[in-house]
A = this chain, B = another copy of it.
Amino acid sequence: MKKGRVTLKDIASKLKLAPSTVSRALNNHPAIGEDTKKAIKKLAEELDYQPNPMALGLLQKKSNTIGVIVPEITSHFFSAIITGIQDVIGPSEYNIMICLSNESYEEELTLVKKLSKMRVDGILVSPSSATKDFDHFRRLQNNDVPVVVFDRDCPGLEADKVLVDDYSGAYQAVEYLIRSGCTKIAHLGGPLNLSTTKHRLQGYLDALEKNKVPLRKDYIQHVKGFSHKDGIKPTKKLLELEDAPDAIFAINDNIAASAMHVAKKMGLAIPDDISIVGFDDEPHSLYFSPALSTVWQPVYSLGMLSARILLQRIKNTNSNEEFRMEVFKPELVVRASSREDSVGISD
């Protein structure tokens, strides 16, 4: 065995042909004799020839790689989005480089630099909850690297965007709670500078106002992160209020889970004493006791569409098509952690 992989030259010299001829044959170039073409393809097959992507990349000034930046992958939410992205990009000519910012602006910055250095052909990004400034993405765009933003918006950044109508999801959830007879509805909100957090909060506020439920500021608490433990303290604060809420709309299912946990520990019955609604519809939420009412988001489709848009954008890189803005509708899933809708029941 000679060391290293089989190259065009190897095939060429074995067949006493020029490398360019071999290249043409393998790329189905028209100007080539049928016989030589066949012979070349046969030998290439036998030798298991695989074109060197680095040589190609150097030549074409592109890496055939797409970067994906997400805050984390331990939640079902982002991992399902990534699965959707993979399922679209996988069969294409592109490779995916997945990067985790760990909800840190600094790490996100480092990742963008790394991906830029790698000459990725485009990136898909959901910014960290600490990111307030989007110049690092603009720098990519200035280097002709298309950027597609998904789930978490980057306000002010001109780019393709695939988002979820968080406002609507929150509005649906809160309006449902009101209709079911809850009057003291609290909100466990997320980190404040996230677009998703803001929109869900606004949906909450508007649903209250529209239904003439007075707003109580002490019914709004913000969690510092999205994992279970981040929900404990804020929930306690709510439930220890003199006039404690009879419903909690939580920023996601993890937080809703810890809210249920705390409520149960305090001896409250769910949903009789307090209704709890989450967001995301993580698969295991169905298996909580009581099963968690939550807002479903089309995560897999979101990942797929984002990837498709990026691929298109890469293909038509210099056409000045307008940026797309796609917004998916989430849906309230009512389960057992919230009371039944009393409006539907005759009284």
Contact = CB atoms under 8 A, between A and B. Distances in A.
Interface of A: 4-5, 50-55, 57-58, 61, 63, 72-74, 76, 79-80, 82-83, 86, 95-100, 114, 116-119, 143, 227-228, 254, 257-258, 260-261, 264, 282-284, 286-289
A114 B95 contact: yes
Nearest to A68: B98
B284 A228 contact: yes
A264 B289 contact: yes
A251 to B, nearest CB: 16
Nearest to A142: B1
A289 B289 contact: yes
A112 to B, nearest CB: 12
A73 B82 contact: yes
Contacts of A80: 74
Given A50-B116, A79-B79, A227-B283, 5 more contacts: A52-B58, A52-B119, A53-B63, A73-B83, A287-B288
A58 B55 contact: yes
B83 A100 contact: yes
Nearest to A77: B74
Contacts of A254: 283-284
Contacts of A264: 289
Contacts of A100: 83, 86
A50 B289 CA distance: 54
A106 B288 CA distance: 35
A228 B288 contact: no
A53 B119 contact: yes
Contacts of A74: 76, 79-80, 83, 283
Contact of A97 (B5, B61, B97, B116): B97
